[in-house]
Amino acid sequence: MFKMTPQILRNLISGPATRAYPRQIRPPFPATRGRLVNDIAQCNFCGACAVKCPSVCIEVDRHLSRWSFAPHICVCCGVCVEICPRHCLRQEPATGPPAAQKEMVALDAKS
């Protein structure tokens, strides 16, 4: 009748199931797809990432040599990283910091 009791006793001696965040932080897995980063020095502003992005979160202006990206619209699918001919896009394992407003990230070739 008391089928849950053995589980309760096991839980009592096995310690907490949760982590004591922020003292104990689980590091992200190396394969985790987090924030998108562009090595702008390598970028040739071809616009392939902007064309292929399913959530339309990347804009590329060839004339101004500007690559801009909306991190809050990005769905972390990794299509842009796969398609990039210069291999200058990559996804960091960590997610981006929290923000009060949804801002665009704009990177210029000359800056």
Partner 1 sequence: MRTSVIPFGPQHPVLPEPLQLKLTVEDEVITEAVPALGYVHRGLEALAQNRDFHQMVQVTERVCGICSVLHAICYCQGLEDIMGITVPPRARYLRVIWGELLRLHSHLLWMGLFADSFGFESLFMQLWKIRERVLDIQEATTGNRVISGTIRVGGVSRDMDARQVHWIADQLTWVAHQVRQIEPVLREDFTIRRRTEGKGVLTSAQARELGAVGPVLRASGIAQDIRQTGYAAYGELDFEPVTATAGDCHARCMVRLGEIDQSIDLIHQALDRLPGGDIRSEVRGRPQGETLMRVEQPRGEVVYYIRADGGKTLSRVRIRTPTFANIPVLVKLLPGIFLSDVPVVVLSIDPCVSCLER
CA distance 68 to 111: 13
Residue 79 sits in the site that holds partner 1 (CB under 8 A): yes
Pick 34 or 66: Cβ nearer partner 1: 34
Backbone phi, psi, residue 55, to 5°: -100, 5
Binds partner 1 (CB under 8 A): choice among 12, 13, 17, 99: 17
CA distance 110 to 28: 33
CA angle 57, 60, 62 (to 5 degrees): 175
Residue 91 sits in the site that holds partner 1 (CB under 8 A): yes
Instruction: Choose one: 8-16, 42-50, 61-69, 102-110; the region binding partner 1 (CB under 8 A).
Output: 8-16
Residue 95 sits in the site that holds partner 1 (CB under 8 A): no
How deeply is 14 buried, as exposed, middle or buried, from its count of CB atoms within 10 A (0-12, 13-18, 19+)? Answer: exposed
CA distance 67 to 89: 11
Residue 36 sits in the site that holds partner 1 (CB under 8 A): no
Residue 32 sits in the site that holds partner 1 (CB under 8 A): yes
Residue 101 sits in the site that holds partner 1 (CB under 8 A): no
**Contacts to partner 1 by CB under 8 A:** 1, 3-4, 6-8, 10-11, 17, 28-29, 31-33, 52-55, 75-79, 82, 91
